[in-house]
Structure 1
Amino acid sequence: MRKAVSVLLAILLAVTGCAGPAERQDLAHVSYLTSFNTFGRDAYVYVAQEKGFFASRGIDVEITPGTGSVDVLKLVAAGRADFGVADFTATAITLAKERLPVTTIAAIHQKSLAAIVTLEGSGISKPADMVGRKIGDQPGSTNQVMFPVYAKAAGIDAGKVEFVPSAPPALPQLLAAGQVDGIGQFVVGTPLIEAAAKGRKAVVLPYGDLVPDLYGNALVVSKEFQGKAPDKVRSFTDALLEGLEYAITHPDEVGPILKKYQPTQDATVASAEVALMAPYVRPSGYSGRVGGMTEERVEKIIRTLVEARAIPDGVVLRPGDLATFG
């Protein structure tokens, strides 16, 4: 009898031990690039993972920090990541020049977060003050790619503002140390910058103040992956947007979740960033769904970029070249 019970227990343990991995194997694996490192503004993907929004749709996600819009677009186009997040305007400008086989499928932000950020006492309080000054930023970042559009709207010569190549994690410290006069940053990055500056107040020059119709970040996917796995694309998108909506509704939960997955991040700063991001995801008066995009608005953005000469002469860009609607 004791032998029989021992054998039965061994069989049960073997079966139980195999159940977890077998279930995990049933999940469809996808890879995802954040827009820019792992700051609080990108934490909604970790929220979706922690809350089980991906798993409930049969998705297992590998999350990798991105290094700016242009890099994200190229990696997704090359099949080195299935999904990524890139600024919509930077995406439009890049696709007009290179025609990468990617498409946007959801607007993370209904308003652009792009900005130039400096500190009080720097002598920069308006766009004209940037002429002749040094701005730190990652080459190919949203802020740098979009800057000519912002400069035209501000009435300044973009060529008279020097961009200094700088790694994303070092930007707040470079600004605080006075090694650059300003940095390319999202408007929600002020808590991180002020923490690095030890009490000095941030001065924010948002691109959206002068070019208000621009979308912010957007979810991108390669056209090949979208074509061969449309159900997987829809499931992933739905889960990510559920994570985004949960994050902006419960910002206090976001910081601790991010820190669980990225221990070097400051939970308080991350939660503050997400709270600041909420009105960009769902602006006042916006009645559409989280992540929504319209063909009419994309067409208007294209016209803005053409007028700013951000799209090369002779290049014809249509809304369907940039986004998949519905």
Structure 2
Amino acid sequence: MRRILAATAVVLLISTAACTDKDDEAAGAGATTKVTVGVIPIIDVAPIYLGKHKGFFARRGIDLKLSPEQGGAPIVEGVLGGKYQFGFSNVTSLLAAQSGGAPLKAVAAGVSSNGRPGRDFSAIVVGDNSPIRSARELGGKSIAVNTLKNLGDTTVRQSVRRAGGKADNLRFTAMPFPDMPGALQSGKVDAAWVVEPTLSAVLTQGGRVLASNFVDTAPDLTVALYFTSQGTVTAKSKLVADFTEAIRESLRYAAAHPGEVRDIVGTYTQINDTVRIAMILPTWPEDINRNSIARVAALGERDGIFKKAPAIEQLLP
């Protein structure tokens, strides 16, 4: 990962230095710009799908394509390598990349915890027949997360600590969110960290919530951000401004239209009507909770995820 970050950073700096104001001139002349954004097919990104459907991007000259990935880390690599112009990623992936020297810049808030213990859109869950009754009992157990050494690890550990358990011997297993309900049912893993719509899929199968890991980590946690490369910020300032405006409009729209959020999620994930109706929604504030990101950074340092302390203000808008 470090070699990839270093190499792609050099390529980006060289290539973007060669760009001129032609990109901004073309955008200003009413040209349509093709933009690909790396996303994770979970409820978090419902606003950008709604924004595309409602024409918020098209009205700003952006021909938007959304490309699904399993987690934030491959999206970061995709943006650094030029595969994506923008990406959606959890804050831990972004902080880790920034700490490693990657020239990234957040442009807008992505999604936040709703702050309700037991009713957040993210949770640590177990299957219906599990004997585990508390996050305190997870020591030594296998826990599914979508990617390793990332936001799932950090927040799950925090829930275990808050419950009075030992968080240094958890066994994490990486798998896509949609595979987790089956893994719990078959006993392949003892517990799983899930977000919607996978959370409701587990609950409708009789699963149970052990803890709300985002709520345990920080009040109103900013979970993820939309971001780009620093080179894109420099070379394509108008595109970045237009994209940011469209995202902010999309966030406002999603917050005001929960019914449409439920409908749009069914267009990019495979869920039934029971799950769609039962989903617990996050919040989509336009403002970034900087204190919560500092908390995630501190926990990540404690868990050894970052090789040095991230420069948070260099990453944030």
Q: TM-score, normalised by structure 1?
A: 0.74
Contact 1:187 1:204 in 2 (8 A): no
User: Counterparts in 2 of 1:19-30, with a 5 A limit?
Assistant: 26-30=31-35
Shift of the 300–253 alpha-carbon distance from structure 1 to 2, 3 Å rule, reads: closer
State the secondary structure of the residue aligned to 2:88: strand
The answer to whether residue 252 in structure 2 is matched with residue 245 in structure 1 is yes
Q: Please give the secondary structure, in 2, of the residue aligned with 1:79.
A: coil
Q: Partner of 2:222: helix, strand, or coil?
A: coil
Pairs within 5 Å for 1:247-262:
247-259=254-266, 261-262=267-268
Q: Is contact 1:68–1:142 with CA below 8 Å preserved after alignment?
A: no
- Equivalent of 2:113, from 111, 114, 123? 111
Task: Give the aligned partner of residue 14 of structure 2.
Answer: none
Q: In structure 1, what is the Cα distance between the partners aligned to 2:224 and 2:38?
A: 12
2:22 is matched with: none
Residues 161-215 of structure 1: CA deviation (Å, up to 9, x unaligned): 21223233211221233321111212664222223x2xx1431422233321542
- In structure 2, the residue matched to 1:321 is 314
Q: 1:45 is aligned with what amino acid?
A: I
Counterpart amino acid of residue 228 in structure 1: A
The 8 Å contact of residues 181 and 198 in structure 2, kept in 1 or not, is answered as no
Contact 1:187 1:206 in 2 (8 A): no
SS at 2:264's partner residue?
Answer: helix
Using the alignment, how far apart are the partners of 2:287 and 2:55 within structure 1? 23
Partner of 1:43: 46
In structure 1, the partner of 2:15 is none
Partner letter of residue 144 of structure 2?
Answer: G
Listed one character per residue, the Cα deviations across residues 127-169 of structure 1 (whole Å, up to 9, x for unaligned) are 2211121112333353135545555555544442212232332
From 120, 126, 129, give the equivalent of 2:134: 126
Deviation of 1:107 after TM superposition, in Å, equals 2.1
Q: Which runs of 5+ in 1 are unaligned?
A: 1-24, 282-289
Over the matched positions of the two proteins, sequence identity in percent amounts to 21
1:59 equivalent among 62, 69, 79: 62
**Deviation for aligned residue 1:30:** 0.6
Work out whether residues 127 and 205 of structure 1, in 8 Å CA contact, stay in contact via their aligned partners in 2.
yes
Give the C-alpha shift of residue 271 in structure 1. Answer: 5.4
SS at match of 2:188: coil
Q: Deviations over 1:72-100 (max 9, x none)?
A: 1111122211111111134223432x222
Pick from 200, 222, 225: which aligns with 1:218?
225
CA distance in 2: counterparts of 1:151 and 1:92, whole angstroms: 23
Q: Among 91, 96, 110, which residue is 2:94 paired with? A: 91
Aligned partners of 1:236 and 1:182: how far apart in 2? 38
One of 136, 140, 144 as aligned partner of 1:136 = 144
CA distance in 2, matches of 1:90, 1:123: 33
Superposition deviation, residue 297 in structure 1? 5.6
SS of residue paired to 2:34: strand
CA contact (8 A) 1:299 1:318 kept: no
Q: Aligned with 2:140: secondary structure?
A: coil
Native 8 Å contact 1:190 1:202 kept in 2:
no
- Write the distance in 1 (CA, Å) between the matches of 2:269 and 2:135: 36
Paired residue total:
280
SS at match of 2:231: helix
Computed over aligned residues only, the root mean square deviation of the Cα atoms, in angstroms, reads 2.9
> Displacement of 1:231 after TM fit?
1.6
The CA distance in 2 between the partners of 1:267 and 1:294, in whole Å, is 33
Structure-1 separation of matches of 2:55 and 2:238: 18
Q: In structure 1, what is the equivalent of residue 287 of structure 2? A: 292
Write the distance in 1 (CA, Å) between the matches of 2:69 and 2:50.
Answer: 17
Residues 206 and 142 (structure 1), Cα distance of their counterparts in 2 relative to 1, 3 Å cut: same
4+ long deviations beyond 6 Å: none
Superposition deviation, residue 31 in structure 1: 0.6
Shift of 1:295: 5.3
86-95 vs 226-235, which moves further: 86-95
Q: Residue 211 of structure 2 aligns to a residue in which SS?
A: strand
Q: Once the 2 structures are TM-superposed, how far is the Cα of residue 320 of structure 1 from its aligned partner?
A: 2.3
TM-score (norm 2): 0.76
Higher alpha-carbon Rg: 1
Q: Measure the CA separation in 2 of the matches of 1:167 and 1:312.
A: 23
- SS of the residue 2:286 aligns to: coil
Structure 2 CA distance for partners of 1:216 and 1:188, relative to 1, 3 Å:
farther
Consecutive unaligned residues of structure 2, counting only runs of 5 or more, are 1-29, 115-120
